[in-house]
Chains A and B, each alone.
Chain A
Amino acid sequence: MLDWLFGNGAYTGFIVVSYGLTFLVLGVLSLILALDLRKQWRALRLLEQETGRRSWK
């Protein structure tokens, strides 16, 4: 079924999957780290409001 992609001489699939997977993994990792940073900022701001302490802008 996937011979046109992965069959002998048809290398398109290997290239597409390599690039697709690379950018999917790197994209998801970037998103996870960015969202985690935003979550930590929110938690810190909330805690600062409660305690009256000030950390970073």
Chain B
Amino acid sequence: MFRYANPTRFMALTSVLLPWTIALTVVSFAAGLYGGLFTAPPDYQQGETVRIMFVHVPAAWMAMAAYSFMALASLVAIVWKHPLADVAAKSAAPIGACFTFLALVTGSLWGKPMWGAWWVWDARLTSMLILFFLYLGYIAIWQTIEEPIRAGRIAAILAMVGFINIPIIKFSVEWWNSLHQSASIIKVGGPSIHISILWPLLVMITAYTLLFAVLLMLSMRSEVLKRRIRSIRIAKVEGFG
């Protein structure tokens, strides 16, 4: 894996991978949306509103997955000083923030008809809101500190410390009384969702994961170019000096 941590290799590899990943993402979204909107039956309790699940659950999963990726990349950046690790962590943050925002808003739009409230200060909802603020804080550090090495180090510490929130989100519905339903896919005894609803959900989760990969590659390529431009400019200034 470390072999591809070279920016030149990364640019070459992603230029090949990107079009294929985009094509797979489009196909997955088409299949997932077809399954979610046309073939999945209405839920016996929730009726048609269950269809919100096909955009809400993948967004929530990706919000947590993107943060976990960011925390892992930050750890690699701090411990091994990997040249692409903090590029990866920095690039994942705005994408993860968007997924978290979508999970919160679609959750609210699902909560109103089902619970009768747009928002409740429930452990799951509150810990997701904290995740959103962690993303914003991480982005703010990169925006406000001009010196990239210092910004990267401080942002990495925040990402790693903030990772404690991920298991809290996951187990919040078991640790505290919650309006939010408990796990129904990854649980002991297998998923408790009928296959007709489960397969479009899994396809949508795949589509979101592929989209994350596409957006991450775009963002990382852009960041690598920004750093290259910066180093050429510094070399140019030093050359004149």
Question: Residues of A at under 8 Å CB distance from B?
Answer: 6, 11-12, 14-15, 17-19, 21-22, 25-26, 29-30, 33-34, 36-37, 40-41, 43-44, 47-48, 50-51, 53, 55-56
Contact = CB atoms under 8 A, between A and B. Distances in A.
B236 A51 contact: yes
B95 A14 contact: no
6 contacts: A17-B109, A18-B110, A25-B102, A26-B102, A43-B225, A56-B11
Contact of A33 (B11, B47, B106, B222): B222
Nearest to A11: B49
Contact of A11 (B47, B95, B106, B219): B47
B232 A51 contact: yes
Contact of A29 (B51, B98, B105): B98
Interface in B41-86: 47-49, 51-52, 55-56, 59
B211 A26 contact: yes
Contacts of B221: 37, 40
B150 interface: no
B186 to A, nearest CB: 22
Given A25-B101, A47-B232, A19 B222 contact: no
Interface of B: 8, 11-12, 47-49, 51-52, 55-56, 59, 94-95, 98, 101-102, 105-106, 109-110, 112-113, 211, 214-215, 218-219, 221-222, 225-226, 228-229, 232-233, 235-236
Say what secondary structure dominates the interface of chain A.
helix
A50 B12 CA distance: 24
A34 B236 contact: no
B215 A29 contact: yes
A18 B236 CA distance: 50
7 A-B pairs closest in CB distance:
A40-B225, A33-B218, A37-B222, A22-B55, A18-B106, A18-B52, A11-B49
Contact of B218 (A14, A15, A37, A47): A37
